């Protein structure tokens, strides 16, 4: 859905989800805007609500997009330090196919890509 705002033709793209609810919810996550509304609420009222929240939506989209970019650019390599329970631990390569944590380091198989290392650290 798109909403045209003010004299300028600024469009806010949003996903509309309707359900048996009593309130309208406006959410900005992962660079997307989602509106959750009552089944009977007219579309033009939803559009007005989105238009009235233009500044808030833009601010949240900027922050959300920045967070998405940071997550995508975040990388881990062997030798990097990872904070766990308030302490720093290194990521080390260890022969075999085991992933783990031994209270001294996060260990994983050698020859993993940066993306695989990041995924492995999240899984441990």
Q: Please report the pLDDT score of residue 9 as a whole number.
A: 43
**Is pLDDT at 72 greater than 60 in this prediction?**
yes
Q: For residues 2 and 4, give the distance between their C-alpha atoms in angstroms, rounded to a whole number.
A: 7
Average pLDDT, the chain: 87
For the entire predicted model, the pTM comes to: 0.59
% of the chain beyond a pLDDT of 70: 91
Tens-digit pLDDT profile for residues 3-62: 555 544 457 889 999 999 999 999 998 889 999 999 999 999 999 999 999 999 999 999
Q: How many CA atoms lie within 13 A of 27 on its CB side?
A: 12
Q: How far is CA 51 from CA 3, 11, 19, 84, in A?
A: 7, 9, 21, 43
């Amino acid at each position: 859905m798109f909403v045209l705002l003010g004299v300028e033709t600024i469009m806010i793209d949003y996903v509309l989800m309707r359900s048996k609810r009593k309130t309208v919810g406006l959410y900005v996550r992962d660079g997307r805007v989602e509106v959750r509304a009552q089944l009977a609420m007219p579309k033009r009222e939803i559009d007005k609500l989105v238009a009235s929240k233009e500044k808030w939506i833009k601010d949240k989209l900027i922050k959300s997009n920045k967070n998405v970019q940071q997550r995508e650019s975040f990388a881990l390599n062997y030798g990097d330090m990872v904070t766990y329970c308030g302490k720093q631990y290194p990521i080390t390569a260890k022969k075999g196919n085991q992933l783990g944590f031994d209270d001294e380091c996060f260990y994983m198989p050698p020859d993993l890509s940066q993306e695989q290392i990041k995924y492995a650290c999240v899984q441990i």
